């Protein structure tokens, strides 16, 4: 009786605190967008309106994470309203003059609502994972079957009969238990829908630019060479990817649906990359982190543009994401040779499709080590990384032997000895910051928080590795520009 009373009292205090927190969050949803928009007004002429929209979306996500569904929806509506009123032309008027700003406002409202709903769903899912069936969850009476006298959750039992702690929310095993069901994956479907709509706006925006025309033309010639023996130019000697990988695939899509069909193929690759990102993040950190990772990736400018242009980049991103997902997919302590062979094959195909993807090979190998060391040990981790490396090297070597020296010459010319461009290293980094600077800041903040809160070296190093993957491309491009100037 005493325990039940104490539990009821604790539940009452929890309810009061929750109500107070939600009230504060709702008030913040009404006030913070006004303050943040006012702070951005002096700079509205010096940065794109999309950057301001992303800043407001981060604010919406923060409020939704701290409050309830109503707070998140109110923040999204308030942010969209003040964005349209103060940060789009004509300023301080109810109407929005530019069609692109109208679309941005609508997308921000819809995305903000999705973020708010996803945060609430993720919080509920985290509670469900943290408190197994039969255990007393926070705010419930300890009289539920499976709970002890003290109201603590019942723990799992090992094969030897010893207790095993419940899987914590957001852990690798919590994500492993979560699965890919439709009911649990509807936020992913919403994210993919928003990404598809944003990219489809660009699919018919203009005609094919030079790279698209070159790759599709080369693909059609490659099919003519295979089927009819038609002579073709020496594409391998100057292409920045294998002309027998993406160009023929893009040419097939072009034959079916024209340029729009080839661009839709790129969109399919980018949607697949987003889904793989969702799956990998969910297994490492849980569904809430998976939702935010997928949502942020889906609305990035590079993601939307790569999904709207018929180049090899979308295929490269998909294959690298597939390799990373296959690294994380197998159980930490089980046999994973087949998975690691698949990783090596995906990396080899990505390297053949776009030579610049070699930059991410080392990151995927380190990912294989860092995800296996905490539970399987150093030996297993090194064995997995070695399997990936041997498979990738063997397949690439076989490809070079079959293709000849022209492929090696093309790799050196386009990847290691590129011709100098007109942009300076600082201009490259500034351009990269305008596209994905906020994402890089969030990644660095995650590393710092993990280190400061003592969440373990393996977790912090893993976050640092993922952050390095986000900035590796811009830094390498800036390095090449500095070396060539």
> For the segment 425-436, what is each residue's pLDDT rounded down to a tens digit?
777 777 777 777
How far apart CA 455 and CA 177 sit, in angstroms, is 21
Q: Band of the pLDDT at 89, cuts 50, 70, 90? A: confident
Q: With respect to residue 148, please indicate whether it lies within any of the assigned structural domains.
A: no
Average the pLDDT over each of 2-11, 266-275, 422-431 and give the range with the smallest value.
2-11
Rounded average pLDDT over 111-132: 60
Out of 164-168, 289-293, 299-303, 375-379, least confident range: 164-168
pLDDT in the model for residue 52: 78
Residue 450 included in any domain: yes
Check: CB of residue 139 under 8 Å from CB of residue 14.
yes
Of the three residues 370, 388, 417, the one that is the final residue of a domain is: 417
Average pLDDT score over residue span 71-81 = 83
Same domain, 220 and 346: yes
Nearest to 85 by CA among 55, 105, 99, 100: 105
Q: How many domains in the chain? A: 3
CA distance 136 to 147: 6
- At residue 132, the pLDDT reads 47
Interval 19-43 mean pLDDT: 84
How many CB atoms within 10 Å of residue 20?
A: 10
In this predicted structure, the answer to whether residue 161 has a pLDDT above a threshold of 60 is: no
Enumerate the H helices of 67-185 as residue ranges.
69-86, 99-130, 172-178
Segment 92-117 shows an average pLDDT of 68
pLDDT for residue 120: 64
Mutual orientation of helices 99-130 and 186-203 as an angle, nearest 10°?
160
Verify that 303 and 369 share a domain, yes or no.
yes
262 and 339 belong to one structural domain: yes
Whether 346 is covered by a domain: the verdict is yes
Q: Among the ranges 218-222, 448-452, 464-468, which has the highest mean pLDDT value? A: 218-222
- Mean pLDDT to the nearest integer, 61-86: 79
Q: How confident is the model at residue 179 (pLDDT cuts 50, 70, 90)?
A: very low
Q: What is the mean pLDDT of residues 173-201?
A: 70
Residue 192 pLDDT > 80: yes
Residues 288 and 397 reside in one and the same domain? yes
264 and 252 within one domain? yes
- Determine which of 169-178, 217-226, 377-386, 444-453 has the lowest per-residue pLDDT on average: 169-178
Q: Is the pLDDT of residue 274 over 50?
A: yes
49-63, 74-88, 269-283, 400-414: which is most confident:
269-283
Alpha carbons 164 and 426: distance in angstroms, whole number: 52
Same domain for 248 and 372, yes or no, is yes
pLDDT at 102: 74
pLDDT, tens digit, for every residue of 127-151?
Answer: 555 554 444 444 433 333 333 333 3
Are 400 and 422 members of one domain?
Answer: no
Strands 163-164 and 156-157: what pairing? antiparallel
User: Which pLDDT score, from 0 to 100, does residue 219 have?
Assistant: 95
More confident: 201 or 196: 196
Give the angle 472-44-191 at the CA atoms, nearest 5°: 50
- pLDDT bin (cut points 50, 70, 90) of residue 11 is very low
Same domain, 219 and 81: no
Instruction: Report the C-alpha gap between 96 and 110 in whole angstroms.
Output: 17
CB of 372 closer than 8 Å to CB of 328: no
Instruction: Please check whether residue 162 lies inside any domain of the structure.
Output: no
76 found inside a domain = yes
What is the average pLDDT value for the chain, to the nearest integer?
77
Residue 175 has pLDDT above 60, yes or no: no
Bridge partner residues of 163 (DSSP): 157
Q: Which helix (H) or strand (E) holds 78?
A: helix 69-86
Q: Write down which residue in 110, 134, 158 finishes a domain.
A: 134
> Are 310 and 339 members of one domain?
yes
Q: Are residues 351 and 468 in the same domain?
A: no
Asked whether residue 268 is domain-assigned, the answer is yes
Residues 279 and 316 in one domain: yes
Report, as an integer, the average pLDDT of 386-410: 92
Mean pLDDT is lowest, of 65-79, 129-143, 387-401, 413-427, for 129-143
Cβ(138)–Cβ(127) under 8 Å?
yes
Q: What is the DSSP string of 219-277?
A: HHHHHHHHHH------GGGT-SS-TTTHHHHHHHHHHHHHHHHHHHHHHHHHHHHHHHH
Task: Single out the residue in 402, 417, 432 at which a domain terminates.
Answer: 417
**Of all residues in the chain, what percent carry a pLDDT higher than 90?**
29
Q: Report whether pLDDT(478) > 90.
A: no
Whether 154 maps to a domain, the answer reads no
Question: What is the per-residue pLDDT for 183?
Answer: 46
Helix/strand/coil for 335: coil
Asked whether 82 and 34 are in contact (CB, 8 A), the reply is yes
So what's the pLDDT on residue 273? Answer: 96
**Predicted confidence (pLDDT) per residue in 202-224, tens digit:** 887 777 788 899 999 999 999 99
For the ranges 18-27, 102-111, 264-273, 326-335, the maximum mean pLDDT occurs at 264-273
Clarify whether residues 333 and 262 are in a common domain. Answer: yes
Q: Is 163 within a domain?
A: no
Range of the domain at 74: 14-134
| Start-to-end Cα distance in the chain | 79
Residue 164 has pLDDT above 50, yes or no: no
């Amino acid at each position: 009786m005493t325990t039940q009373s104490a539990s009821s009292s604790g539940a009452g205090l929890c309810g009061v605190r929750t109500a107070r927190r939600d009230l504060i969050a709702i008030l913040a949803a009404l006030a913070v967008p006004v303050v943040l928009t006012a702070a951005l007004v002096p700079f509205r002429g010096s940065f794109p309106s999309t950057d301001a929209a992303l800043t407001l979306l981060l604010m919406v996500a923060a409020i939704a994470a701290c409050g309830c569904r109503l707070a998140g929806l109110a923040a999204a509506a308030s942010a969209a309203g003040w964005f349209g009123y103060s940060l789009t032309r004509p300023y301080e008027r109810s109407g929005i003059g530019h069609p692109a700003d109208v679309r941005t406002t609508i997308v921000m409202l819809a995305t903000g609502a999705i973020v708010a709903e996803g945060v609430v769903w993720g919080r509920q899912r985290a509670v469900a994972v943290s408190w197994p069936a039969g255990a007393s969850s926070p705010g419930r009476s300890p009289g539920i079957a499976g709970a002890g006298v003290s109201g603590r959750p019942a723990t799992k039992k090992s094969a030897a009969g010893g207790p095993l702690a419940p899987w914590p929310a957001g852990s690798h095993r919590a994500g492993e238990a979560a699965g890919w069901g439709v009911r649990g994956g509807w936020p992913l479907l919403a994210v993919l829908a928003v990404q598809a709509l944003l990219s489809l706006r660009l699919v018919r925006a203009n005609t094919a630019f030079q790279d698209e025309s070159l790759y599709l033309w080369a693909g059609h010639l490659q099919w003519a060479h295979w089927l009819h023996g038609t002579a073709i130019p020496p594409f391998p000697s100057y292409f920045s990817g294998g002309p027998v990988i993406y160009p023929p695939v893009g040419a097939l899509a072009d034959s079916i649906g024209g340029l729009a069909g080839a661009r839709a193929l790129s969109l399919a690759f980018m949607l697949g990359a987003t889904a793989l990102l969702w799956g990998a993040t969910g297994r490492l950190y849980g569904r809430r982190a998976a939702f935010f990772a997928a949502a942020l990736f889906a609305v990035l400018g590079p993601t939307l543009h790569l999904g709207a242009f018929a180049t090899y980049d979308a295929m490269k991103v998909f294959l690298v994401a597939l390799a990373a997902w296959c690294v994380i997919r197998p159980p930490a302590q089980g046999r994973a040779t087949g998975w690691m062979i698949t990783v090596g094959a995906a990396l080899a195909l990505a390297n053949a499709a776009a030579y610049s993807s070699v930059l991410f090979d080392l990151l995927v190998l380190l990912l294989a080590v860092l995800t296996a060391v905490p539970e399987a040990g150093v030996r297993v981790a090194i064995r997995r990384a070695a399997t990936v490396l041997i498979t990738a090297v063997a397949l690439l070597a076989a490809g070079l032997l079959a293709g000849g020296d022209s492929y090696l010459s093309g790799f050196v010319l386009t990847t290691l000895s590129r011709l100098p461009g007109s942009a300076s290293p600082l201009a490259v980094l500034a351009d990269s910051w305008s596209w994905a600077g906020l994402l890089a800041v969030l990644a660095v903040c995650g590393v710092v928080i993990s280190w400061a809160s003592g969440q373990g070296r393996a977790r912090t190093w893993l976050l640092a590795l993922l952050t390095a993957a986000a900035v590796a491309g811009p830094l390498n491009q800036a390095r090449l520009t500095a070396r060539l100037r």
